[in-house]
Structure 1
Amino acid sequence: MKSVIKGAFVALFFILTLGAAFAGEMVFKTGKGVIADQRGGRHVLQLEYASSDEERAHGLMGRTTMAKDHGMIFDFGTSRDVMMWMKNTPLPLDMLFIDEQGVIRTIAANTKPFSEDIIPSEGKVRYVIELNGGRAAALGIGPGSRVVEGLKLP
């Protein structure tokens, strides 16, 4: 009986996993991120981590909603010039370009949904955090703000 139940759970796992894959959904690891703004405010975010090539390529494509305190962090492994785009992304986003030490260097605010225009980092960065469009300004997050927690996978 135990082997039948175990087999049923294994089958359910594969059905759910394959169903998500065929639906175009990707499951990301999640964790907490904290950004300290230059006025002393601290902003807690729930982040999804895109660290592999496949995860970074998929990103937030196809998402039509995202909670206001959520975002996605892209880790490129090393500091380099980064280029992003909005292809297949229906949400306007703020892209925070972050250096190796966690300092936000530039922000591309309210990026245009579905655009194939290249959005450059304007210098070497290791990370990009995407938030809902307009959220960085609403929180007072700008260049010089710092990610003090959550750059690495939990």
Structure 2
Amino acid sequence: MTIARRLASRRVRGLASMLGLAVAYLSAAAFQAVAVEANPPLRTGTLVIGDRVTVTVELARSVQEQARGLSGRRELKPGHGMLFVYSRPQPVGIWMKDMRFSLDILWIRDGRVV
């Protein structure tokens, strides 16, 4: 095999490797985009606090919905939030996995913010 053919063969292998890496990277990026957008909005309701504040809330009722929360969402519209519904008072831990924006957390009990 001549030197020219060996160099051409190396270039082809190098380009093939780079193409393979590019495809793998783009596939991973596409999967991440799909995974992030795979957290669709939940059923909504209206929360009224006092006489002045009305918030449209997504209702996180199941353990799975509560664990997922707002993870991966790009934004939350003004006047919107998520309400975690529990059947009884209990200790609750909140974490912000994969959050892209800051959160304000209110604890509500017996119709009052505590």
TM-score, normalized by length of structure 2? 0.64
Point out the structure with the larger helix share: 2
Q: In the alignment, which of 86, 105, 111 is matched to residue 102 of structure 1?
A: 111
- Number of residues paired by the alignment? 81
Code of the residue aligned with 1:77 in structure 2: it is S
Q: Which runs of structure 2 are paired with 1:61-76 in the superposition (5 Å)?
A: 61-76=71-86
Aligned to 1:140: none
- CA 1:90–1:22 in 2, change beyond 3 Å: closer, same or farther? closer
Code of the residue aligned with 1:103 in structure 2: it is R
1:26 is the counterpart of 2:40: yes
Code of the residue aligned with 2:82 in structure 1: it is M
Q: Which runs of structure 2 are paired with 1:6-21 in the superposition (5 Å)?
A: none
- CA 1:27–1:68 in 2, change beyond 3 Å: closer, same or farther? closer
Aligned to 2:100: 90
Aligned to 1:54: 64
Structure with the bigger RCO (C-alpha within 8 Å, sep 6+) is: 1
Q: Tell me the SS of whatever aligns to 1:77.
A: coil
Aligned to 2:24: none
Aligned-pair identity (%): 35
Point out the structure with the larger strand share: 1
Q: Tell me the SS of whatever aligns to 2:88.
A: strand
Q: State the shift of 1:23 in Å.
A: 4.4
Code of the residue aligned with 2:48 in structure 1: it is V
Code of the residue aligned with 2:88 in structure 1: it is T
- CA 1:91–1:76 in 2, change beyond 3 Å: closer, same or farther? same
Q: Tell me the SS of whatever aligns to 1:79.
A: coil
Q: State the shift of 1:21 in Å.
A: 8.1
- 2: CA distance between counterparts of 1:85 and 1:31? 23
Question: Which 5+ residue runs of structure 2 have no aligned equivalent?
Answer: 1-33
Q: Tell me the SS of whatever aligns to 2:107.
A: strand
Q: In the alignment, which of 42, 49, 52 is matched to residue 42 of structure 1?
A: 52
- CA 1:21–1:30 in 2, change beyond 3 Å: closer, same or farther? farther
